[in-house]
């Protein structure tokens, strides 16, 4: 098993969060994308404003590395119009994967129709341009029952509105990696949450993101059935090193 085929190498911090300049951020993105090309990772996951740059580097290198970006990130409370506008721009800039943050707050508040409609319209936009679409449910913000219900809701919207050949292109994803938890609780992937997602999102694939810190954890998740793993430490994990950090 080549774990690199499952890794979405991720850099999602803004220059403000890192305390660096725009120029320094661009330099980091350059190095980050070059590393993904050299290591043969599945994908680079970056902020929308860096998609065009990443695509240019990858195209120039004649590499097969895909470019993914996040939509409505990290809160998920953007309006549908804002999410679709952001997604369309990412498509125009060359993104291959669109990772939407589901409006899990609306889901928790019982506004199920809003959530269903954004899943329908966001997926429709992505698939109409032959893109991979992922819906981030933010497991650290949900209890077990909510993880089960939201995973099933996404699955049911897709099954009701799209052909079977589309299912493999729509993922349910665990986490943004940016959710702030209390008392040191995990802010991303756990084996328990992933098992619930796998059981209730199937036949849709699942992406584990946030909290994967070792090669062994990555392999365990893959054996459970996860198809993608998002991590900001892809090289370290692939090389069997233990990493620190939330994502």
pTM for the whole thing?
0.96
- 3-state class (DSSP) for residue 215: helix
Identified catalytic residue from 55, 134, 173, 235: 173
**42 given a catalytic annotation:** no
Helices (H), the chain: 15-18, 22-39, 51-60, 80-93, 104-108, 112-128, 144-161, 191-201, 215-224, 234-238
User: What is the model's pLDDT at position 127?
Assistant: 98
User: What is the model's pLDDT at position 234?
Assistant: 94
The stretch 113-124 carries a mean pLDDT of: 98
pLDDT tens readout for residues 78-94 = 999 999 999 999 999 99
pLDDT tens readout for residues 147-176 = 999 999 999 999 999 999 999 999 999 999
Query: Among 246, 142, 128, which residue's Cα sits nearest to residue 200?
Result: 142
Identified catalytic residue from 155, 207, 213, 235: 207
Specify the DSSP element, H or E, that contains 100.
Answer: strand 97-101
The pair of structure tokens assigned to 173 is 């994803």
Query: Among 104, 101, 246, 233, which residue's Cα sits nearest to residue 184?
Result: 246
**108 given a catalytic annotation:** no
User: What is the model's pLDDT at position 191?
Assistant: 95
Residue 230 forms beta bridges with which residues? 8, 209
Domains within the chain, CATH numbers bracketed? 3-238 (3.20.20.70)
Could you give the percent of the chain with pLDDT greater than 90?
90
The stretch 181-210 carries a mean pLDDT of: 92
Identified catalytic residue from 42, 99, 213, 246: 99
User: What is the model's pLDDT at position 247?
Assistant: 58
Helices (H), 139-225: 144-161, 191-201, 215-224
Compare 242 and 126 and report the one with higher pLDDT: 126
**195 given a catalytic annotation:** no
């Amino acid at each position: 098993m080549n774990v690199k085929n499952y890794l979405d190498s991720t850099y999602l911090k803004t220059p403000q969060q890192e305390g660096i300049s725009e120029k320094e951020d661009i330099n980091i993105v350059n190095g980050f994308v070059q590393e993904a090309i050299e290591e043969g990772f599945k994908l680079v996951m970056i902020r929308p404003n860096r998609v065009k740059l990443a695509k240019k580097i990858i195209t120039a290198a004649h590499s097969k590395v895909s470019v993914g970006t996040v939509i409505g990130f990290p809160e998920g409370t953007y309006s549908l119009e804002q999410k679709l506008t952001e997604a369309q721009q990412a498509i125009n800039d060359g993104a291959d994967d669109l990772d939407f943050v589901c409006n899990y707050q609306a889901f928790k508040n019982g506004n199920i129709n809003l959530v269903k409609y954004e899943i329908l319209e966001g997926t429709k936009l992505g698939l109409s341009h032959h893109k991979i679409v992922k819906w981030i449910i933010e497991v650290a913000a949900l209890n077990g029952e909510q993880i089960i219900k939201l995973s099933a809701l996404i699955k049911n919207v897709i099954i009701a509105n799209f052909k079977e050949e589309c299912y493999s292109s729509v993922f349910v994803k665990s986490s943004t990696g940016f959710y702030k938890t209390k008392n040191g609780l995990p802010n991303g992937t756990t084996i328990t949450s992933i098992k619930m997602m796998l059981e209730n999102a199937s036949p849709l694939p699942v992406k584990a993101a946030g909290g994967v810190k070792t090669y062994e954890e990555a392999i365990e998740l893959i054996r459970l059935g996860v198809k993608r793993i998002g991590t900001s430490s892809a090289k370290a994990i692939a090389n069997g090193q233990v990493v620190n950090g939330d994502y």
